[in-house]
Amino acid sequence: MNDSPAEISGSGFPLTAPSSSQLQQLVEKLTPEQHHVTQKSGTEAPFCGGHLTEKSAGVYGCVVCRLPLFRSSDKFDSGSGWPSFCDTYDAQHVTRKSDASGGMVRTEITCRRCDAHLGHEFPDGPPPTGIRHCLNSLALHFWAEGEAIPREIPREISRAISDATDAPATPDADLAIAWFGGG
């Protein structure tokens, strides 16, 4: 378990990074494509992301740890081929880093809580911010308006980690072993 003091954002969400075992559990639930984008700073092809044309009202969050990152009310069509937002859900929820990869200097944006790569930030967005957060759909989870946004890392992940840690080590415990074959 992470022993760092809990840090809470201005909007009330915990920003404390998951423990290494929690992060491993979260990352294991990703698709190979999501893993490539969020853990290897990959970029999905333009004009093909699932959230590019999403018009529903709601909130976009980190696909790894579910920290809310952007509101649909701040989404705009930048013509870039990636979902774009002019503002963040909470400025404390993203981290900015200099990125000199690909022969250009850009500002990479990552999830503050789990450090997942989200995309890049550019100074060519619409008013009032003038900022364009250009994101990979694969890095995002969408909650439609009215859906509950979890404050903590999803319980099913935490529970799975806790259950594995608390499991009795004796062979006569109430456990069963199953063997599966695959082709």
* Catalytic one of 62, 86, 111, 134: 134
CB 85 within 8 A of CB 74: yes
Q: What is the identity of the amino acid at 62? A: C
Nearest Cα to Cα of residue 59 among 142, 119, 118, 161: 142
Integer Cα distance of 50 and 41 in angstroms: 18
pLDDT (tens place) for every residue of the chain, 183 residues total? 555 567 999 999 999 999 999 999 999 999 999 999 999 999 999 999 999 999 999 999 999 999 999 999 999 999 999 999 999 999 999 999 999 888 889 999 999 999 999 999 999 999 999 999 999 999 999 999 999 999 888 766 544 433 333 333 333 334 333 343 444
Global pTM value: 0.81
Give the dihedral of Cα atoms 59, 22, 154, 51; nearest 10 deg: 30
Q: Is 48 a catalytic residue?
A: no
HSE (CB half, 13 Å, CA atoms) of 103?
0
Integer Cα distance of 74 and 91 in angstroms: 13
Greatest extent of the chain over all pairs of C-alpha atoms, in Å: 65
CA distances from residue 45 to 16, 56, 170, 178 in whole angstroms, order as listed: 32, 22, 49, 40
Identify the sign of the CA torsion 33, 39, 42, 43.
positive
What is the CATH number that goes with domain 20-160?
2.170.150.20
Instruction: Write down the domain spans for the chain.
Output: 20-160
